[in-house]
A and B are shown apart, each in its own frame.
Chain A
Amino acid sequence: MQTDAKTPRQSDELIVSLDSVSKWFGNVVAVSDVTLDIGPGITGLLGPNGAGKTTLLRMICGLHSPSEGEVRLLGTNPRTDHNVYKRIGIMTENESAYEFMTGLEFVRLSARLKDLRREESHLRAAIERVDMSFALDRKISTYSRGMRQRIRLAAALVGDPDLLILDEPLNGADPTQRLRFQQILRETVDEGRSVIISSHILEEVEEVSDSVVLVVNGKLAAQGDFHAIRAALDDRPYHVKIECSDPKQLGGELAKLPSVQSVQFDPDGSIVVLTTNVATLQLDLPPLAQQDNIRLTRFQPIDDSLESVFSYLVEG
């Protein structure tokens, strides 16, 4: 565990610096003239689907070269200085893992690629941290989506990186996993590390982010303190999609919650809840399901209203 003076938080090192960065693919402009600095702590990179978050993160990570402008990651150009990856754990959006490997082998590979000949106990500790010890000897091809995300997070955590970059890490996670994930992020920051986390769902990063970068249509829409931006959203209700083993029973119970405005049943068997507070719902849901012996399989905020807020912010 690194908590020495070199950690970004303690040295106030600039984590990311983008200077007039643009990226286009043929005639399509994915990111347009973004200039921003990201400091230590947890930063949420937010924007609706297709806003350019992933392209921006890929440029920050060095996976994409900018068409114009300059990207600095921990003070260096990641496209040419690959040693920077020794200090970074990255979890990309796609579920890229070697299917033929076991979870333990995948985490071990990640350590060895960073030239860390760690003892098995370190690898197992990283896996334990994401609650995947029960499946560490199973092949990744047998993992669910949420399990893949967790083993990839373990691989990103190995080596105690100064900076974690996570692109849509909560995709496929159930409510319990989301809470555990947020807990890990808090622990990470408490240890003096920094995190950049992208999401198209504001609520996902609300609990953990110190500051937020909002991206809309490939442009920087807003950046700053999370709570100031969040205040603009307080009156807006959110839709949340829930899949479970007994939708009717759970829907009835959900309707009684004070944070729930309405409950609808989708033809595909899922429940769509309109809530004024996703975070509270997220906490209330697991015990509710447990008391009626209902199995939860999905909890996904459908935060379409975010786009209108982004528009509001862009238009001033």
Chain B
Amino acid sequence: MSDTIFVLTIRQSLSIKRVAILLILAAIPLTIAIVSEILNVEWGGDEMQRFIQALIINTALPLVALIVAAPVFADEIEDRTLTNLMLSPIARWQVAIPKTLAALSVVVIPMAVSTFASVIIIWQEDIYTSAIVGAFGILIGALAFTSLFAFVGTLTTRAVVFGIVYVFGFEALISSAIPGLKYISISGMTIAIMQELGPTLVDAPKSGSNAPPPVEFAVPAIIAIIIITNLGTIWRLKRMDVH
């Protein structure tokens, strides 16, 4: 039954419009890397790290996660198709987890491939280690973002609006402008973990508003976000009145 819901969600997520947006966003880093290679652009260390942090982790990844994960439940509620799942002999966690994992798969595959390939093209040292760390960071960040946006989709059918405000307002702007807010930023936590695993890939400042939290905080915090949001999704499915 869980595989049925997983496959169903993959099919729902792969509408032509959504796939087009997803591929465009995922292709941006790779396109930049390919064009740089063709034009023989030399990347400085700071530029490469900004490329990873600002373009991929802070912007492209949360946007792709938002586009895929927010509608996973919100669209089912709005289209009233959720009744098909809720009137089945399936525990609510067996509805929630396969749907979130399906959304995660759709987010991770293009983003991880794009990041992995981009790093291989433009990095000058520790190429493969950096590429693997980059792809792993995508997986961790995507899991947290996907879980969060899927949960928000069970609370409101306007999850995409919430997500856009969150991605551009909080993750991209406010958390970078106000010291300390990176502690509650999924991007900040992801960067902290990537920095620990691959210092040549990410070398974020140790202090200032742009400094990510220490890895000792980031790891349990991102795990907590993943667990709490998924439990929240299951709780909502158990409690909600389905129309």
Contact = CB atoms under 8 A, between A and B. Distances in A.
Interface of A: 58, 61-65, 79, 82-86, 88, 90, 92, 94, 96-98, 100, 109-110, 112-115
A195 B41 CA distance: 72
Interface in B83-112: 83-92
B241 A64 contact: yes
Nearest to A98: B81
Contacts of B238: 79
A65 B241 contact: yes
B90 A82 contact: yes
Nearest to A63: B242
Contacts of A63: 83, 86-87, 241-243
B11 to A, nearest CB: 7
Contacts of A65: 239, 241
18 contacts: A58-B241, A58-B242, A63-B86, A82-B89, A82-B90, A85-B88, A88-B87, A92-B83, A96-B82, A98-B8, A98-B84, A100-B11, A109-B8, A109-B84, A112-B4, A113-B1, A113-B84, A115-B89
A114 B81 contact: no
B79 interface: yes
Given A58-B241, A94-B80, 15 more contacts: A58-B242, A62-B87, A63-B87, A63-B241, A63-B242, A63-B243, A64-B242, A65-B239, A82-B89, A82-B90, A92-B87, A96-B79, A97-B84, A112-B1, A113-B88
A94 B87 CA distance: 14
A299 B130 CA distance: 68
A115 B1 contact: yes
A84 B89 contact: yes
Contacts of B239: 65
A247 to B, nearest CB: 34
Contacts of B90: 82, 113
A113 B4 contact: yes
Contact of A97 (B5, B81, B241): B81
Contacts of B11: 100
A85 B85 CA distance: 11
A94 to B, nearest CB: 5
Contacts of A97: 81, 84
Nearest to B8: A109
Contacts of B242: 58, 63-64
Given A65-B239, A115-B1, A83 B81 contact: no
Category for how many chain B residues contact A: 20 to 34
Given A64-B242, A65-B239, A94-B80, A113 B85 contact: yes
A151 to B, nearest CB: 12
Contacts of A61: 87
A92 B12 CA distance: 21
B91 A82 contact: yes
A83 B83 contact: no
A29 to B, nearest CB: 15
Contacts of A110: 84
- In this complex, the member of B12, B86, B91 whose beta carbon has the largest number of chain A beta carbons within 10 angstroms is B86
Contacts of A58: 241-243
A85 B1 contact: no
Interface string B8-19: 100110010000
Nearest to A106: B84
Nearest to B82: A96
Contact of B83 (A96, A100, A114): A96
A85 B87 contact: yes
A65 B86 CA distance: 13
- In this complex, the member of B15, B79, B88, B91 whose beta carbon has the largest number of chain A beta carbons within 10 angstroms is B88
A85 B89 contact: yes
Contacts of A113: 1, 4-5, 84-85, 88-90
Rank and list the top 3 A-B pairs by shortest CB-CB distance, nearest first.
Answer: A113-B88, A96-B80, A112-B4
A96 B4 CA distance: 18
Contact of A96 (B84, B88, B92): B84
